[in-house]
Amino acid sequence: MCALAISVLVIGTTTASARLTDEKPLLAATPPMGWSSWNALGCTVDENAVRGNADAMVSSGMAAMGYTYVNIDDCWMAPERNAGGRLQADPQRFPGGIKALADYVHAKGLKLGIYASAGTATCQNLPGSLDHETTDAATFAEWGVDLLKYDNCYNPGRPAVERFSAMGNALEASGRDIVYSISDWGDEQSWRWAGNAGGHYWRTFADITDSWDAVVVIVEQQAGLTQFSRPHGWNDPDSLEVGNGGMTTDEDRAHVSLWAVLNAPLIAGNDLRSMDATTRGLLTNPEVIAVDQDWGGMQGDKVADVGDLEIWAKPMSTGGAAAVLLNRGRYGTEIAASPAELGLRCANEYNIRDLWAHTTTVTTGYVDAWVPPHAAKMFLVSPSLGPRMCGTSGLVAPRSRNPR
């Protein structure tokens, strides 16, 4: 466990100054991890909340697990640009300005993220950055900003690739390494062009809300997107709602499990200052984070789907597979996945690590678990004894039985 936690720390805080291409800084070797103000605080965000959440990211142990970015979402801006045409912080809620906040966050070993929009206004009707890209990117760089989430509201219908590339180029020209988070909500299939626009991760769907229905709807949209995700360019199903109160612990656990198997950016969306031990545990499970941060050649995908029962799997760089057995339905049920479904080679035995229970068992065949309603089980499945000759693979769909 100790070795695992250390490796997560090293991977999660990797910085890279090398360039993937001449245009794009290599800044997201693994899916970025951090916190965003939006889900919990919305437009009530202020500088005290940002400082407090940075403090809590460290004191909770999240920073040690790889959470790095402290992202101020919409509503940090004053309603008007200054006389020089520059964005400025809201004087009531951010009287100290953004540079001071960046200094504060950096002193803690963390990084600061900020928000703007590729339209004439942000989604909360504050000044937009469309056609101000060079000025705004330079301002962010001067302030010491490390990440920009660039949104899609109030766009005048100009193609997304043009608008988001303009900011990608401006960030590159700013001279500062700034992670670029593209938020076109998947409207124009961001996964096809956002990497070339300079993006390090890109939203694939509409906004998450704090509900099980929202999580499962978003998850369904991720199926089939594996080919578009890779180091320095990740599909983003949106920030987490874990700990915000709208879901049960089982639902929150399934939410994290699915985001991890998808190699999604892990951006906590709860108020870290007041999170309880359960939420902290869900966000800092080293074995689950290790799956999220591992690149085994492709992000997870749905490999079986029968009604409300699904199997999601992704290859691990160690040669095993991470598996999420998801029960979207209202009754507990058994779900079984064959090694072949999980993409594993034939072997005489497989070690099955339950990543939430932290127990290991051995199977010669199926990965089989009872999954409560609105919940998921998550496993790391590794061939241990083998190889053996395999005949036809077994079931290719989850088996279910009547509710207990």
Cα 40 to its chain centre, rounded Å, is 16
Binder to ligand GLA among 24, 31, 38, 253 (CB under 6 A)?
38
Nearer to ligand GLA by C-beta: 241 or 310?
Answer: 241
Other beta carbons within 10 Å of 227: 10
Nearer to ligand GLA by C-beta: 148 or 316?
Answer: 148
DSSP summary character for residue 42: G
Binder to ligand GLA among 31, 53, 70, 74 (CB under 6 A)?
74
Query: Mask: binding to ligand GLA, 194-223, rule CB under 6 A, as x and -?
Result: -------------x----------------
Nearer to ligand GLA by C-beta: 129 or 183?
Answer: 183
- The dihedral region occupied by 232, where left means phi > 0, alpha psi between -120 and 50, and beta the remainder, is left
- Residue 380 amino acid letter: L
Q: DSSP assignment of 183-205, as one string? A: --TTTT-HHHHTTTTT-SEEE-S
DSSP summary character for residue 131: T
Among 55, 131, 207, 250, the one annotated catalytic: 207
- Residue 308 annotated among the catalytic residues of the structure: no
- Residue 131 annotated among the catalytic residues of the structure: no
The Cα–Cα gap between 176 and 193 comes to 23
Binder to ligand GLA among 89, 123, 303, 323 (CB under 6 A)?
123
Shortest reach from residue 123's CB to ligand GLA, in Å = 3
Q: DSSP assignment of 248-275, as one string? A: -HHHHHHHHHHHHHTT--EEE-S-GGG-
Decide if residue 188 touches ligand GLA (CB under 6 A).
no
Binder to ligand GLA among 46, 47, 73, 136 (CB under 6 A)?
73
Nearer to ligand GLA by C-beta: 7 or 124?
Answer: 124
Among 151, 210, 252, 292, the one annotated catalytic: 151
Burial class of 85 by CB neighbour count within 10 A (0 to 12, 13 to 18, 19+): exposed
Decide if residue 183 touches ligand GLA (CB under 6 A).
yes
Shortest reach from residue 137's CB to ligand GLA, in Å = 18
Decide if residue 136 touches ligand GLA (CB under 6 A).
no
Binder to ligand GLA among 7, 124, 135, 169 (CB under 6 A)?
124
Residue 400's closest CA among 344, 350, 338, 331? 331
| Alpha helix stretches (DSSP H) within 90-159 | 97-107, 133-143
Binder to ligand GLA among 46, 133, 151, 210 (CB under 6 A)?
151
Cα atoms in the 13 Å half-sphere on the side-chain side of 48: 3
Shortest reach from residue 38's CB to ligand GLA, in Å = 5
Decide if 219 contacts 198 (C-beta within 8 A): no
Shortest reach from residue 124's CB to ligand GLA, in Å = 5
Residues at the contact surface with ligand GLA, assessed by CB under 6 A = 38, 73-74, 123-124, 151, 183, 185, 207
Q: Which residues are catalytic?
A: 151, 207
